[in-house]
Amino acid sequence: MLTIATGNKAVADAVKDAVPAIVAAYPITPQTEIVEQIANYVASGQLASKYIPVESEHSAMAACIGASATGARAFTATSSHGLVYMCEMLHWAVGARLPIVMANANRALGPGWNIWAEHTDSLSMRDTGWLQVYVGSVQEAYDATLMAFRIAEHNDVLLPVMVNLDGFALTHITQSLETVDPGDFIPPMHLPHAIDTGRPAGYGTLTAPGDYYRFRWDIERSMRNAVSVIEETQDEFGKRFGRTYGMTEEYRCADAEVVVVAMGTLGKEVEIAVDILRGQGVKAGSMRLRWFRPFPDLDLAGKEVVVIDRDYSFGFGGIVAHAIASKYDVPIFSVIAGLGGQEVTYDDIAGFVRDRRPGDEYWFGVDA
């Protein structure tokens, strides 16, 4: 059905269509509308989930972990300080191999207190073992959330998935939304190690050095499997519902001499900058990273790269720029822009590309 929705409502609608057994939630700006909308769906009988209001984000993730461990589909949503507060439990969900789905409204961390878009919150959870996807439109927020359940619960993966959408820039804007009837696109969840009172077993027990690394390697093996599961899921989604997605979204990349890499809504705005640059004779292309974990294979051979990081790792650099630098031997101009909702327009982006200085880092708006 074609309607209009905010990014937050799109996530809530995808959750309604995926019918988790439980939703545990604690509100935080700019995510609150997601869990409010889900609460409405549960209260009005449109969604047969158990809704568990909790006293903190740490508890929200703990409740999801408990439910998921019994084989129940679980969802929560958070943002920024809420995400980093549940950090301990994020690691737990991965180690316990629980396919929880969570939406994160990307928001800067304080102080200075700031409720606007930035990716440092989720990227600082990079090494937890959660799969991470970053979306660039209201429709994509819905589609990615729906697909997240199938990917997480696939028995070759069994890892949690975090769907990231830019705070306010996407959570609060209204665009068209086409919802679908997922039917058997999302099969019933089957967790092979679900708690079964008929077969008592120990969970989360002491794991000695002789065994622990095997569990770690198994997580990594599943993370590697996840690439083909994501691609298969996205292909199947395209066949059934007509919207296709890749690990990245590329625009005018094939013959590009300089490729701009970004994530989220900035990655969409880059496409307009590319059209402007092409009109000025600069052979530019856009490569919007959709999946950050697992990190996709990128075709950057022979190209110059401009990376726009809406995040920063202090004392090191832009997190996306350094991920690319560590995997590909290409000249990179690293731009730090959009922190805490800083306005960045397509004209600004075209300017970064025109004035690129491969090997350098540039903080937009800072005279340095």
For another protein, the binding residues (CB under 8 A) are 2-4, 30, 115-116, 137, 166, 168-170, 172-176, 265-266, 268-269, 271-272, 343-346
Contact between 300 and 274 (Cβ < 8 Å) = no
How many Å apart are CA 128 and CA 326, to the nearest integer? 19
CB of 169 to another protein, least distance (A): 5
Residue type, 309: D
CB of 268 to another protein, least distance (A): 4
Q: Which residues, 6 or more positions from 213, have their beta carbon under 8 angstroms from its beta carbon? A: none
Strand partners for 76: 102
Strand partners for 193: none
Q: Residue 156 or residue 275: which is nearer to another protein going by CB?
A: 275
CB of 109 to another protein, least distance (A): 18
Q: Residue 4 or residue 48: which is nearer to another protein going by CB?
A: 4
CB of 364 to another protein, least distance (A): 13
Q: Which residues, 6 or more positions from 48, have their beta carbon under 8 angstroms from its beta carbon? A: 19, 42
Q: For the residues of 209-248, what is the DSSP string, one character each?
A: HHHHHHHHHHHHHHHHHHHHHHHHHHHHHHHHHS----SE
Strand partners for 78: 104
CB of 327 to another protein, least distance (A): 27
CB of 180 to another protein, least distance (A): 17
Q: Residue 3 or residue 56: which is nearer to another protein going by CB?
A: 3
Q: Residue 272 or residue 325: which is nearer to another protein going by CB?
A: 272
Q: Residue 228 or residue 345: which is nearer to another protein going by CB?
A: 345
**Nearest-10 crossing angle of helices 265-279, 346-354:** 60
Q: Residue 21 or residue 115: which is nearer to another protein going by CB?
A: 115
Cβ atoms < 10 Å from Cβ of 187: 10
Contact between 102 and 76 (Cβ < 8 Å) = yes
Q: Residue 85 or residue 346: which is nearer to another protein going by CB?
A: 346
Q: For the residues of 94-163, what is the DSSP string, one character each?
A: HHTT---EEEEEE---SSSP--S--SHHHHTTGGG--EEEE--SHHHHHHHHHHHHHHHHSTTT---EEE
Q: Residue 30 or residue 99: which is nearer to another protein going by CB?
A: 30
CB of 243 to another protein, least distance (A): 11
Cβ atoms < 10 Å from Cβ of 57: 26
CB of 138 to another protein, least distance (A): 9
Residue type, 30: P
